[in-house]
Chain A
Amino acid sequence: MEVLRNVTRHKLRSFLTISGIVIGVLALTTMGALAENFNALLDGGVTYFGSNIQVGPPDGQSASLLPISKIDEIKQIDGVAAAFASYGFSAKPGQITAVSFGIPDTIVAGDPAENNWAALKTTFAQGHQLDASSTGQVVLGSTIDKEFAKKIGDTIDLPVKPSDAKPDFVNHAFTVVGILNPTRTAPDTFAYINVADGQTLLKDSLPVAIRDQIDVSKITEAINVYGKPGTSLSDLDKIADRINAQVPGVKAVRPSQLVNSFKSGGAIFTAITTAAALLALIIGGLSVVNTMFMAVAERVREIGLKKAVGATTFNIMGEFLVEATLIGIVGGVVGYGLGALITIIANATTPPGQSTLFLVTPNLTILAIGFATVLGAVAGVLPAWRAARLDPVTALRNE
Chain B
Amino acid sequence: MPTPVAEAPNVTDDGLYLDGIPHDRFAEMRRTPGLMWHPYRDGGFWAVARHAEVKEVSRTPEVFSSAVGHTNLWDLEADALEARRGLIDTDAPDHTRIRRLVASGFTPKNIKAWTDTVGELTDELLDDAEAAGTVDWVDALAAPLPIRVILALLGVPVEDADHLVELSNFLVEGTSEQQSLPPDAFGNTTELRLLPFNSPASHALFEYGEALAARKRAEPADDIVTTLVRAEADGERLTGSEFRNLFHLLVFAGNETTRTALTHGAMALADHPEQWQRVLDGDVTLEQATEEVLRWATPVLHMRRTTTTATELAGTRIGAGEKVVVWYASANRDETAFDDPFTFDVGRTDNPHFAFGGGGPHFCLGAFLARLEIQVVLGAMRDRGLRLRRTGEPVRVPSNFVHGVLSVDMELAR
Task: Note whether A and B form a binding pair.
Answer: no
